[in-house]
Amino acid sequence: MAKYDVQFKVKLVKEYLSGNSGYRLIADTYRVDISQLRYWVASYQHHGVSGLEDKRATYSAEFKQQVLQHIEREGLSDRQAAALYDIRSIGTIGKWRRAYNTSEPGALRPPHKGEIQMQMPKKHLPKAPAPDETRTQQELLDELAYLRAENAYLKKLGALIEAKQAAALQKKRK
C-alpha cells in the first residue's frame, strides 16, 4: 500500500467535506482507493488531524474485547469501528475477531516483549542423499523416477513458453 503524508490526506478530506466533490471523483482524481478515502474522512471527523497521522499502538485485551463487543452491539462495520476507536489498520480488527472466535483463553492479549507473534513455516530441506553405494535399489529407482518426471515437466514448460512466444511473435507480425 502506498504511504501518503498527512498534508495530502487532509487536502483530500477537506476537499470532500467542502461538498464540491464526491468520494469517487476525488479518489479517481488523486488515484487513491475510495475505501481508503472514506476511512480518512471518518477518522478525521472523529479525531481531527491526529486521526490521519501514522500511529503504532499496542492494544490491551480489554480494549480489543470492548471494540469487538461494540461492533456486535451496534452493528458497526470494521471500517466504522476503526475510525471511531482510532485504529489505523482496519485488518487489525478482523485479526482480533478471528483470535476471539478461537475461544482460547488469552487469545486477545498482546504478546510479551520478545515473544514471536508469527512464525515462518519451517522449510523442509531435502536430506543430503546418502552415497549411491549405500542406497537400496528401490531408493535409486524412486530417485530416477522423480528425476525423469522433473525433466519431463521442465521440457513441457519450455515447450509451452516457446509456443507462447511464437504466438506473440505471429500476433505482432499481423
Q: What confidence tens digit (pLDDT) does each residue in 150-162 have?
A: 999 999 999 999 9
Containing domain of residue 144, as a range?
132-173
Quick: pLDDT tens for 122-131.
555 556 667 8
Rounded Cα–Cα distance for residues 97 and 103 (Å): 10
Question: Among 15-19, 23-27, 64-68, 98-102, which stretch is predicted with the lowest mean pLDDT?
Answer: 98-102
Number of domains in the chain: 3
- Predicted confidence at residue 17, as pLDDT, reads 92
Q: Is residue 96 part of a domain?
A: yes
The answer on 166 and 143 residing in a single domain is yes
The answer on 107 and 140 residing in a single domain is no
- CATH number of the structural domain spanning residue 42: 1.10.10
Quick: pLDDT tens for 39-91.
889 888 888 888 787 777 777 888 888 888 888 888 888 888 888 887 877 78
Q: Is residue 162 part of a domain?
A: yes
Rounded Cα–Cα distance for residues 72 and 64 (Å): 12
Quick: pLDDT tens for 92-119.
888 888 887 876 666 667 665 554 444 4
Handedness of CA 67, 68, 72, 78 (dihedral sign): positive
Cell of 112: 510479551
Q: Is residue 87 part of a domain?
A: yes
- Predicted confidence at residue 124, as pLDDT, reads 54
Q: Is residue 122 part of a domain?
A: no
Q: Is residue 5 part of a domain?
A: yes
Q: Is residue 80 part of a domain?
A: yes
- Predicted confidence at residue 26, as pLDDT, reads 92
Q: Is residue 116 part of a domain?
A: no
Q: Is residue 118 part of a domain?
A: no
